[in-house]
Structure 1
């Protein structure tokens, strides 16, 4: 009886205590929300995160979520679902590794991105008095005392169609000037950004992972006032496959700079995610001289880049072809095999469609029925893009290639394929130089054959869409959705009729303009740069 008399009041007291603390907590939370992060009565909606950062660094707790609205640096998301979609597009980092808290970084907001910790934020760079435009348009003096003269023969300066935005022209001229003035003695006086893949790195990704972000990286190099360099030694130097073109940008590292790039511990790795690169690329000038970049992003920074585009400037998918063309062109070995292959198959540039079918993505093998379905669907998608046009089919599976040939004959269609050597083609990431450079040529040959097509259909991985972006018409592409995921199973259908004269419900791109058979098109690639002018 004694226990019962004591237990009942105790339970009541416990319940009352819990209720009291819940009410107190609710009152404190509501008060803080009404007052806003700085304690004023303006409410959370009137508090600008940018304004807060002008006074002190933002804390993670100051990013508020109220009335089912997520406020993130001037970007509003109606739900967490929209926030997650934005993360998938590359606007926000999804998962980040914490950095040491002792770095003492000063925070600044990047529009559209949410800092999880003050150490993740882009640090506030030490800005010179001049703006970016003034910085890149100064009168530069050469070592001989003469003023640097802008080279009118450069592709970006000889631009009658005004394709390249002004910021890009300014940066590329500045980059050309830097090449004429740098030396081992001035290394520490300059700021560098290196697109690298070294044997000491665990994973650089495939060809598209390494090179597709080139437009994004060019913009980051401009904003951070860094000299952009591309340097590989894994599995071989990039110059074994791609070199600078005549009139283009020379991104190669001279021997003394290559030695410094390959020195362990020199500079700072910016990480593999878009968020990491943006966070660290523009740190204070005193922090580090060399920024090392091996970013892997499926969209290659496209969404972020398009957010920076000013009125009248081309978007990412429009400018990519032109930036690629002034940066890279096939080496002599790749060019010779490319021209021989296209001649043997009877392929004329911009007179065929291309289908890339990645079957062994993250797989050693797939069932035969699945490979057959995927190959046939890829051919069907190509027919939807351009009916009755020859189709170039490429895959990482010999079985899928054979299935495409058989299916093309059953449709009385011209499906051109090739068996690579070695077979299957080598992935550029997974051999670490154990094979000669000639064994990797086919990966670059197929990439340029995709780029020479009038339209490209693709499925998994970034290789197929990479070829589409390199080509002349990045809008004429189609993703193959018939995967082993029933919820998005949306197969293509074979189309024989011309969509311009006989629109078909199965033809998804019937609004494409008709192709002029007599039209002349600019070449996809240019002659290589004269090595006598290289450093």
Structure 2
């Protein structure tokens, strides 16, 4: 073949291959385009899901004065000195600016979840309650009316007066969850006496509304209106160095309450008390209060209610109440009797905590009033460890069986404690006795730890004041600032799980007692503090012995 022929053939082959390459190039571009389109669609879907979650979160957490179109996160607005941003949305100051509410997960709500959450979806019970006294119902109605009429323009026009239960950053200690919230009936008594609108305001570890909110139907809204933090005069009152009403003795002076056996109310600082009574209370629109007592005002509440003479449990002497009942209809329910209805009239967990409660109860197979509970404080001022911790946890199990062996042996037993070492010890003891119905959150994870690992594990429930350092006595040793707001969720999750148990045993502190006050069955309880319960009440499962014929297999 000549050179001209070869060149002609080569050109012919090249001209035939050119369309094929164009086709391959077009196919490659189409494939790339399909991938790009898929990425764009995926991004749009994720954006829509995120937007939906954000709307759900806002719907569940917005405060009075907040726009439902505001961002759901509690974000820091640098360079602005007030506690509210330009959208009229409260913003945490200092370390609280980090507390953003995590978005809710979108998931199909099962019937089981709906059943668990139904307790939080009921109307506030105060109107229909048979235990809340008439004066408190009247106050709650007045509170709602005042709250509805209150605005940023009229708050200081002489029409309104407020009593704010505070936990400010300037306060060294505010107490744990129970210390802050267990006095609820007593707060209403004081607010009614002073004819002031009751609010609760926290800065530490995060605002109250990050954890609790009023029922959506007829709830009493105790959250501090956000606009008050924008107003310098109100903000200065809220963050004063010392609360106006400070300590239980101040509260007693305000109420004119005299303890049995005393001729007049006790006063720690008579000059301060007189100034409060004669100048602050008559003139100030906004008054703050903070106190912490071992009984959370229960004694004062019970002594001041309308009732018949009662027996003092300490002195065994008959005490004449300050307000003597003339008929059975006038006798008011006690602090313990009104607590649950008062609580659920004002406070339920926010949706994120509700969801976590439902998830935990579902995963553990816990049905309301069909399981029992153990609560253990192992680090209350002193750390229980070694043999002492073993005895503490074993005794708690024994006491629950002593309370009702039949229920304890046939129903799940939920264990909660202030430290994982106590949960680990209780689970190990129960496992050794083949009591496999004893359970806890993250049971498998906890059982996988060694004893030393459990003792050193600080990832358990946090204390609202002390953070993870439950043994801290001095405020400088508190670790509260090291945690985000959502890391305190389990503090509330556990108390609600404990409260839905049929029977409960608890020891020192007030967390377990608080859960019991929220229970449907308040009478089914036993303290394992200072009480020796032996193993004789245990009902152990029958272990089926293997047949001899199977031993060789």
Normalised-by-shorter TM-score class = 0.5 to 0.7
State the Cα distance separating 1:182 from its structure 2 match.
1.9
Partner of 1:336: 355
The answer (yes or no) to whether the contact 1:394–1:417 under 8 Å persists in 2 is yes
1:193 alignment partner, one of 157, 160, 163: 163
Q: Secondary structure at the match of 2:173?
A: coil
The corresponding residue for 1:415 is: 438
The structure 2 residue matched to 1:424, chosen from 460, 466, 477, is: 460
Equivalences for 1:94-243 in 2 at 5 Å?
155=124, 158-159=127-128, 162-188=130-156, 189=158, 190-243=160-213
Rounded Cα–Cα distance in structure 2 between residues aligned with 1:348 and 1:167: 36
Taking only aligned residues, the RMSD between alpha carbons, in angstroms, comes to 2.5
Task: Decide whether the 8 Å contact of 2:420 with 2:458 is kept in 1.
Answer: no
- Pair 272,380 (structure 1): closer, same or farther in 2 beyond 3 Å: farther
Q: How does 1:250-329 map to 2 (within 5 A)?
A: 250-259=221-230, 262-263=235-236, 269-280=243-254, 283=277, 285-310=281-306, 311-329=330-348
Match of 1:367 in 2: 385
- What is the TM-score normalised by the length of structure 2? 0.57
**Structure 1: 5+ residue stretches without partners:** 1-152, 483-488, 499-535
CA distance in 1, matches of 2:251, 2:176: 19
Residue 470 (1) aligns with residue 443 (2):
no
Q: In the aligned structure 2, how far is the partner of 1:158 from the partner of 1:265?
A: 31
SS in 2 for 1:205: coil
Give CA-to-partner distance per residue, 1:479-523, whole Å, 9 cap, x none.
Answer: 1124xxxxxx6345452469xxxxxxxxxxxxxxxxxxxxxxxxx
Which one of 402, 405, 408 corresponds to residue 424 of structure 2? Answer: 402
Show the counterpart of 2:374.
Answer: 355
Which structure 2 segments of 5+ residues have no match? 1-121, 257-276, 307-329, 447-456, 467-478, 541-553
Question: How many pairs align?
Answer: 338
Q: Deviations over 1:334-380 (max 9, x none)?
A: 111111111111111111111111001123x4331111110111111
Q: Deviations over 1:265-311 (max 9, x none)?
A: 77772455322222247835534332212221121111111112223
Q: Say whether the 8 Å CA contact 1:354–1:391 is kept in structure 2.
A: yes
Contact kept? 1:194, 1:291, Cα under 8 Å: yes
Q: 1:31: which partner in 2?
A: none
Q: Secondary structure at the match of 2:209?
A: helix
Whether the aligned pair in 2 keeps the contact of 1:379 and 1:391 (CA below 8 Å) is no
Q: 2:499 touches 2:517 (CA, 8 Å); kept in 1?
A: yes
Residues 51-70 of structure 1: matches in 2 within 5 Å? none
TM-score (norm 1): 0.59
Measured in 2, the distance between the counterparts of 1:154 and 1:403 equals 41
Bigger mean CA deviation after superposition, 236-245 or 388-397: 388-397
* C-alpha distance in 2 between matches for 1:175 and 1:330: 21
Q: What residue number does 2:311 align with?
A: none
Q: Is the 8 A contact 1:272 1:296 kept in 2?
A: no
Deviation at 1:396, TM superposition (A): 1.8
Secondary structure at 1:163's aligned position in 2?
coil
Corresponding residue SS for 2:374:
strand
Q: Deviations over 1:63-112 (max 9, x none)?
A: xxxxxxxxxxxxxxxxxxxxxxxxxxxxxxxxxxxxxxxxxxxxxxxxxx
Shift of 1:409: 2.6
Structure 2 distance, partners of 1:273, 1:469, is 24
Q: 1:393 aligns with which of 412, 415, 420?
A: 415
Counterpart CA distance in 2 for 1:221 and 1:264 is: 18
- CA distance, structure 2, for counterparts of residue 474 and residue 319 of structure 1: 12
- Paired residue for 1:383? 401
Bigger radius of gyration, 1 or 2?
2
Moved more, 442-451 or 307-316: 307-316
* 1:435 alignment counterpart: 483
SS class of match (2:188): helix
Matched, 1:452 2:452: no
Secondary structure of 2:163's match? strand
Query: What displacement does 1:314 show?
Result: 1.3
**Which has more helix, going by share of residues?**
2
